[in-house]
């Protein structure tokens, strides 16, 4: 939907297909008589854009609420329950299992806190789309919902909310690259070694997940609880999970830490992780262009007298007129957000292909 919305905005910005009914407001009146004098200006193209903006307003707001309450607060409550179980039973449990569970709970707690914060950002961004929806229908020209100043303030709020999200894109990008290097480093350190050669300090959440968890490590506490969480069932699941961990960390003297099959699997994971890291950095650059582009409209509104503008503002607008800077910035933002969903949708296929190619190269080398 993001691709459709911003592609339509690009069509409007560039006045593509200008002679088509897309720009004929009278075509809308065949289906519905829009109120005079402003809403009647709405063209079919603007109606389509408004529908996608309303979808974004509702969709992002709902997503934000889910992140806050499901992936954030409800998950945090479950994590606290599991932490209490761990503290209560730790003296009777395998020490290495306790260590791994504790590390997992800390990691998931950080994820839940991030989901809560990101949820607020997403929810707030969703609300700002309501003003964009109204603007597409020329409601702001009527002076409703705050008029044009209300629209500019909404865009300003969206820009402010976008700053932490830009930071997370950079953070995730470098985290993916760091994870890739870490996987390869750990693989090199255990090649040819037996489990008996590994001491207790070597067993961490990372090494357990990579080398010792036979069926992968996906404990129940990484997901938020259902609407009616059964606490007694959670206790049983916790005990079962700890037993599995304890069994997996038991040293088998003859077993090797790393099989050829596992090495291939981890190499693929390392390549994919690095490529996803690069993708996040690319998405950051795309969103930075959008951020800067939409900023031009805000500057043009607040510094409307061009002959009195500060030299910093003039430089930020590349010494262009307010009208041109606003149009060009808006086009840059729309174009960037048209490209972003294409990158995200295409990346799983491209990364999968590149992972296989790079994996073959590594084997040959």
| Residue 362: predicted pLDDT | 53
Nearest partner of 343 among 292, 289, 281, 297, judged by Cα: 281
Whether omega before 174 lies within 30 degrees of 0, making that bond cis, reads: no
| Residue 356: predicted pLDDT | 72
Distance CA 126, CA 64 (A): 8
| Residue 231: predicted pLDDT | 79
Distance CA 281, CA 291 (A): 15
Alpha carbon 248 to chain centroid, angstroms: 33
| Residue 175: predicted pLDDT | 97
Nearest partner of 205 among 245, 148, 149, judged by Cα: 245
Distance CA 182, CA 188 (A): 10
Residue matched to tokens 């002076």: 143
Mean pLDDT by runs of 10 across the 365 residues of the chain is: 94 92 86 80 93 96 96 94 93 94 96 97 96 93 89 96 97 97 94 88 93 89 80 89 93 85 90 95 97 96 90 93 95 96 93 72 51
Distance CA 123, CA 12 (A): 27
CB 344 within 8 A of CB 283: yes
| Residue 141: predicted pLDDT | 85
| Residue 83: predicted pLDDT | 96
Q: Domains of the chain: which residue ranges?
A: 161-184+260-365
1 is written with which tokens?
């939907």
CB atoms within 10 A of CB 81: 17
| Residue 29: predicted pLDDT | 79
| Residue 218: predicted pLDDT | 93
The DSSP result for 83-129, as a single string, is HHHHHHHGGGS-HHHHHHHHHHHHHHHHHHHHHHHHHHHHHHHHHHH
Distance CA 226, CA 363 (A): 45
Distance CA 266, CA 275 (A): 14
């Amino acid at each position: 939907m993001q691709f459709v919305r911003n592609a339509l905005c690009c069509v409007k910005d560039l006045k593509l297909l200008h002679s088509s009914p897309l720009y004929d407001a009278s075509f809308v009146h065949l289906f519905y008589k829009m109120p005079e004098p402003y809403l009647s200006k709405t063209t079919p193209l603007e109606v389509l854009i408004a529908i996608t903006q309303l979808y974004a307003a509702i969709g992002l707001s709902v997503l934000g609420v889910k992140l806050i309450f499901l992936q954030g607060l409800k998950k945090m409550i479950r994590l606290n329950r599991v932490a209490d179980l761990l503290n209560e039973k730790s003296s009777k449990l395998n020490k290495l299992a306790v260590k791994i569970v504790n590390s997992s709970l800390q990691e998931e707690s950080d994820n839940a806190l991030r989901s809560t914060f990101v949820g607020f950002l997403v929810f707030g961004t969703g609300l700002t789309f309501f003003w964009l929806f109204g603007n597409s229908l020329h409601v702001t020209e009527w002076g409703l919902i705050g008029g044009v100043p209300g629209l500019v303030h909404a865009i300003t709020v969206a820009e402010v909310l976008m700053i932490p999200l830009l930071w997370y894109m950079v953070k995730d990008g470098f985290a993916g690259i760091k994870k890739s290097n870490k996987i390869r480093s750990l693989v090199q350190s255990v090649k040819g070694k037996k489990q008996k050669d590994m001491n207790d300090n070597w067993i961490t959440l990372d090494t357990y997940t990579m080398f010792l968890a036979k069926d992968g490590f996906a404990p129940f506490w990484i997901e938020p609880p259902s609407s009616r969480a059964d606490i007694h069932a959670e206790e049983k699941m916790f005990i079962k999970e700890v037993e599995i961990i304890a069994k997996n960390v038991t040293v088998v003297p003859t077993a090797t830490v790393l099989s050829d099959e596992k090495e291939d699997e981890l190499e693929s994971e390392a390549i994919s992780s690095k490529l996803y890291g690069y993708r996040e950095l690319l998405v950051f650059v795309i969103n930075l262009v959008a951020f800067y582009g939409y900023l031009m409209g805000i500057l043009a509104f607040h510094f409307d007298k061009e002959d009195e503008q500060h030299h910093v503002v003039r430089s930020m607008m590349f010494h262009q007129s307010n009208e041109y800077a606003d149009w060009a910035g808006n086009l840059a933002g729309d174009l960037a957000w048209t490209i972003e969903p294409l990158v995200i949708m295409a990346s799983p296929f491209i990364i999968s292909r590149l992972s296989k190619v790079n994996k073959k190269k590594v084997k040959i080398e």
